[in-house]
Structure 1
């Protein structure tokens, strides 16, 4: 296949897969969106429509609009960095977090939190709760870090949990000797973005403003950087990440990302299962992740294609049925079917 025909093919796929995105914009479900697709041979296409902001001013969505990627931070930044250290021998994935965070629940040597391992956190196989309003306990980031490390967390069945990745972020801070926002993110990404080129998120009730260009996640904002959220990027940057996974599919690092740890989870990622956000048409060799703000990335290694759907579905409020779950699945099905 020539490069010209490859580009033409991926553009055709993108146009077909963008139809439900356009419909969601036209019916007022989401303000705007960007869909990007990349193939293993490097062909890519990006389509955009709608608005990056509607309140209080209206700005159009562009192909290079920056998005608060929310939980895509977990895979693009935190998982990738943790696995790098594991492969370099600085972290044993099956060792407890206290091998790097010895002060975790330091006043109770028998606390279950002290037995949780890096691998369990990556695969969301811990008893931590899904989420906790940590930001309501204060605005001093150092005090909040101590609170998280010393709190007696309520124990429950394994669920997808932000706490897992907040702790992994703390581990990275100890290893690198600096706060997370002082670390250099992957090329093309950042921990904030200029307002005039960013997709707006929520009209925040406790910050009393429209959030744009700064992290939406309340806990990440209060901690001034955390491992579960906070990364910003464009569709091109996310496609570069997906392209790198396709190009290095057989590398030890990507093999770990693809290795299943549970019915739904691999190291950091979600793998294909019935009803998942990537749609039903993708192969079993597909991994992906979503972000609360309306973002997502998926890579089908068998079909050698990756895609990202970036929306500002919580603008100006999260308290609205945007239909994002159905939209993600519809787009994924069309990408792979096409």
Structure 2
């Protein structure tokens, strides 16, 4: 349902921040930043809590940098793929081997060689949901070869990082350089100043609290990939969202595909509303969104001309804790859209 227009921007933001503040005070998350922007370009930001609690404590600020995790998929990778498609450089319905001819090159009948760009964008492939690629070594060149030549176990279509790791490899092949050497986009980066960043996990295999360096294990081992690794602030995420809403940051053709359904839950890269989704139960049908494992999320409502982003450090100092992030995201979305 559409929201009531008489609710002020400040009131909507304050109401939506209330469950965030409650989660911080209850100790479920160390801190968080919420940003909201509307069709007129009016924006508001609220921050609370700690950016880091161990080994040192630092306050959360409105300009704190976050490891955006899987928001990398929608802010960076899918935009690049869709823009290349709009330019005619790639065909979304062509198999990945049109750019990665060496994918499962020793078996011309392998199912992996039939996977298309569009299928990867919509997570409509048989790839497994997760794979600990980082446990196979730390050589990023060798790991890329391993990914391309591995005989992957096939299963039902699920949300899989492998889809976007492969899309990232395609981008690297097309541009002739690794993702970490590419322009991350205005306001974004592939790492951040630890003193200006929200800490993530006390990593058991890197033996340190991660801060300003990528949390995702596979992305770290690959030294950059298409599924994670992007850093940004609430301002940079809102800038991106505004550029999508008014089609100034990406082409109208790309925005159209971002809004075009591929399944009952997904568009080209993004999620769309369904029962229990992260944006809550009161989003318009013309809303897209995505979340990141570290505690991040972005939702864009084209019907109401607004977007909101919730950035938290919910995996700090450990992921092995029920932060309540799933319910928190829905509560924030409901407070914005039910106002």
In structure 1, what is the Cα distance between the partners aligned to 2:9 and 2:161?
A: 35
Residue in 2 aligned with 1:16?
Answer: 15
SS at match of 2:8: helix
Residue in 1 aligned with 2:67?
Answer: 68
Residue in 2 aligned with 1:130?
Answer: 129
Gaps of 5+ in 2: none
In structure 2, what is the Cα distance between the partners aligned to 1:67 and 1:133?
A: 23
Residue in 2 aligned with 1:292?
Answer: 293
Measured after TM superposition, the shift of residue 9 of structure 1 is 2.3
Measured after TM superposition, the shift of residue 181 of structure 1 is 0.3
In structure 1, what is the Cα distance between the partners aligned to 2:21 and 2:32?
A: 8
Residue in 2 aligned with 1:203?
Answer: 202
Residue in 1 aligned with 2:311?
Answer: 310
In structure 1, what is the Cα distance between the partners aligned to 2:166 and 2:39?
A: 34
In structure 1, what is the Cα distance between the partners aligned to 2:336 and 2:210?
A: 31
TM-score normalised according to structure 2 size: 0.97
Matched, 1:121 2:120: yes
- Structure 1, residues 47-91: CA drift from partner, whole Å, max 9, x if none? 000000000100000000000000000000000000010000000
SS at match of 1:189: coil
Matched, 1:95 2:94: yes
Gaps of 5+ in 1: 1-5
The residue correspondences of 1:165-314 to structure 2 (distance < 5 A) are: 165-248=164-247, 251-314=252-315
Residue in 2 aligned with 1:149?
Answer: 148
In structure 2, what is the Cα distance between the partners aligned to 1:77 and 1:252?
A: 16
- Structure 1, residues 134-155: CA drift from partner, whole Å, max 9, x if none? 0000000000000000000000
- Structure 1, residues 155-181: CA drift from partner, whole Å, max 9, x if none? 000000000000000000011010100
In structure 2, what is the Cα distance between the partners aligned to 1:251 and 1:117?
A: 23
Measured after TM superposition, the shift of residue 303 of structure 1 is 1.1
Residue in 2 aligned with 1:3?
Answer: none
In structure 1, what is the Cα distance between the partners aligned to 2:126 and 2:50?
A: 40
SS at match of 1:18: helix
In structure 2, what is the Cα distance between the partners aligned to 1:334 and 1:243?
A: 20
Residue in 1 aligned with 2:41?
Answer: 42
SS at match of 2:19: helix
- Structure 1, residues 218-267: CA drift from partner, whole Å, max 9, x if none? 00000000000000000010001111111129911101001000111100
Cα root mean square deviation, aligned: 1.1
In structure 2, what is the Cα distance between the partners aligned to 1:215 and 1:12?
A: 35
In structure 2, what is the Cα distance between the partners aligned to 1:238 and 1:337?
A: 23
Residue in 2 aligned with 1:86?
Answer: 85
Measured after TM superposition, the shift of residue 274 of structure 1 is 1.1
Residue in 2 aligned with 1:323?
Answer: 324
Measured after TM superposition, the shift of residue 13 of structure 1 is 1.0
Measured after TM superposition, the shift of residue 40 of structure 1 is 1.3
Structure 1 segments (4+ residues) deviating >4 Å: none
SS at match of 1:190: coil
In structure 2, what is the Cα distance between the partners aligned to 1:159 and 1:290?
A: 15
Matched, 1:58 2:57: yes
